[in-house]
């Protein structure tokens, strides 16, 4: 498609050098969430018949538009009640925990139930605080002795500039629309040479082409941005950061069946008949062991970018 004329600005670069990639009918999103996640999101799409997907040609970041369709507190309270939504300890938690030293001050942005900072505090001698916008979750965490604050990072950064050795966020940046402002606020909270840890879904993996009902979770109002290694690396062009390394998650058992289905579908040229035959004959019993065997070589769900705040900022 050709460059658009609509005045849509990239949340990362702030320019209108964006490309319209695709658009989705809002009624499709509403029905998907109603059918598979038992929630009515109609109120978020008033006067919004279609949702557009743009790509920022400067940064490589893709995002959904308009921005007002992002999930609200009620939306995330609904998902927060589901057992599988806040996993207490994940691959990215383990990877990032290894980068924390005794004595560090740690701030987690979008801390969920506070599982990461609670567990990290048992492993290391640290001072840890979490920010979370789901008010129900914050109340429950605080009653359990986990220090969570119900405040946006943009407001908190004004109170705690240059205060933390490590600022981290796990599966957060894909949910928000003002992502540039949030990244800037996280950097503001860091001490010079402090470490910023960002984990997001990797859209270069199987989730980028997922055709199962779970694909709805990679769309509004749940996800508002689509990240990959290229867009994470390009953040250093717009923020006072130096990238240390990129960590790519290998396929985890919890995502193996989703990968398997999408891999088979692609292998069979997206032919519905062949796909049905494959599952009907239970050929997956033969292929599943190979996926398990090579799982460490298969690109998994998430990607981590490790940055250092530039010294003079």
User: For 112-148, how does the pLDDT look when each residue is reduced to its tens digit (9 = 90+)?
Assistant: 999 999 999 999 999 999 999 888 889 999 999 999 9
4 has pLDDT over 50 = no
Contact 303, 202 (CB under 8 A): yes
Q: Of 307, 194, 292, nearest to 250 (Cα)?
A: 292
| CB proximity list for 268: less than 8 A, separation 6 or greater | 274, 275, 278
Angle of CA points 253, 244, 254, to nearest 5°: 10
User: Tokens standing for 35?
Assistant: 């059918």
Q: Of 37, 1, 42, nearest to 18 (Cα)?
A: 1
Under DSSP, is residue 194 helix (H, G, I), strand (E, B) or coil?
strand
Domain boundaries, the chain: 78-205+228-249+301-309, 254-296
Instruction: Tell me the average pLDDT across 251-276.
Output: 94
Contact 243, 310 (CB under 8 A): no
Percentage, residues of the chain above pLDDT 90: 88
Residue 28's CB is within 10 A of a number of other CB atoms, namely 13
pLDDT (0 to 100) of residue 18: 97
Dist CA 202 CA 249 (whole Å): 9
pLDDT (0 to 100) of residue 163: 97
**Among the four given CATH numbers 3.10.580.10, 2.40.50.140, 3.30.565.10, 3.40.50.150, the one describing domain 78-205+228-249+301-309:** 3.40.50.150
242 has pLDDT over 50 = yes
Under DSSP, is residue 141 helix (H, G, I), strand (E, B) or coil?
helix
Angle of CA points 281, 286, 290, to nearest 5°: 145
The mean-pLDDT minimum among 59-63, 188-192, 247-251, 277-281 falls in 277-281
290 has pLDDT over 90 = yes
DSSP codes, 18-53: EEEEEEEEHHHHHHHHHHHH----GGGGTT--EEEE
22 has pLDDT over 70 = yes
Q: Per-residue confidence at 80, pLDDT binned at 50, 70, 90?
A: confident
User: For 155-197, how does the pLDDT look when each residue is reduced to its tens digit (9 = 90+)?
Assistant: 999 999 999 999 999 999 999 999 999 999 999 999 999 999 9
Instruction: Tell me the average pLDDT across 99-118.
Output: 96
pLDDT (0 to 100) of residue 266: 93
208 has pLDDT over 80 = yes
Omega before 309 within 30 of 0, i.e. cis: no
5 has pLDDT over 90 = no
32 has pLDDT over 50 = yes
Q: Of 116, 140, 139, 136, nearest to 128 (Cα)?
A: 116
Q: Per-residue confidence at 2, pLDDT binned at 50, 70, 90?
A: very low
């Amino acid at each position: 498609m050709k460059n658009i004329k609509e005045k849509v600005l990239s949340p990362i670069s702030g320019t209108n050098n964006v490309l319209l990639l695709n658009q989705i009918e809002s009624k499709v999103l509403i029905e998907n969430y109603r059918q598979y996640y038992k929630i009515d999101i109609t109120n978020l799409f008033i006067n919004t018949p279609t949702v557009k997907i743009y790509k920022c040609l400067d940064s490589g970041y893709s995002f959904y538009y308009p921005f007002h369709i992002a999930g609200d507190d009620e939306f995330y309270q609904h998902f927060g009640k589901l057992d599988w939504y806040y996993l207490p300890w994940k691959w990215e938690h383990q990877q990032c925990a290894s980068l924390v030293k005794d004595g560090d001050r740690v701030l987690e942005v979008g801390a969920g139930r506070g599982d990461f900072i609670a567990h990290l505090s048992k492993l290391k001698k640290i001072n840890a605080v979490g920010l979370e916008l789901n008010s129900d979750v914050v109340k429950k965490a605080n009653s359990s002795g986990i220090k969570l604050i119900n405040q946006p990072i943009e407001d908190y950064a004004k109170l705690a500039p240059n205060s933390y050795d490590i600022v981290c966020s796990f599966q957060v940046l894909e949910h928000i629309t003002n992502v540039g402002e949030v990244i800037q606020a996280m950097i503001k909270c860091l001490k010079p040479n402090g470490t910023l840890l960002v984990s997001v879904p990797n859209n270069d993996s199987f989730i980028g082409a997922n055709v199962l009902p779970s694909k709805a979770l990679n769309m509004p109002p749940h996800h508002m941005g689509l990240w990959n290694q290229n867009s994470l690396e390009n953040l250093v062009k717009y923020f006072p950061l130096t990238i240390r390394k990129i960590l790519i998650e290998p396929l985890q058992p919890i995502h193996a069946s989703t990968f398997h289905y999408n891999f088979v579908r692609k292998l069979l040229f997206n032919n519905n008949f062949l796909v049905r035959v494959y599952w009907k004959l239970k050929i997956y019993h033969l292929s599943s062991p190979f996926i398990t065997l090579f799982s460490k070589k298969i690109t998994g769900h998430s990607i981590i970018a490790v940055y250092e705040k530039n010294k003079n900022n």
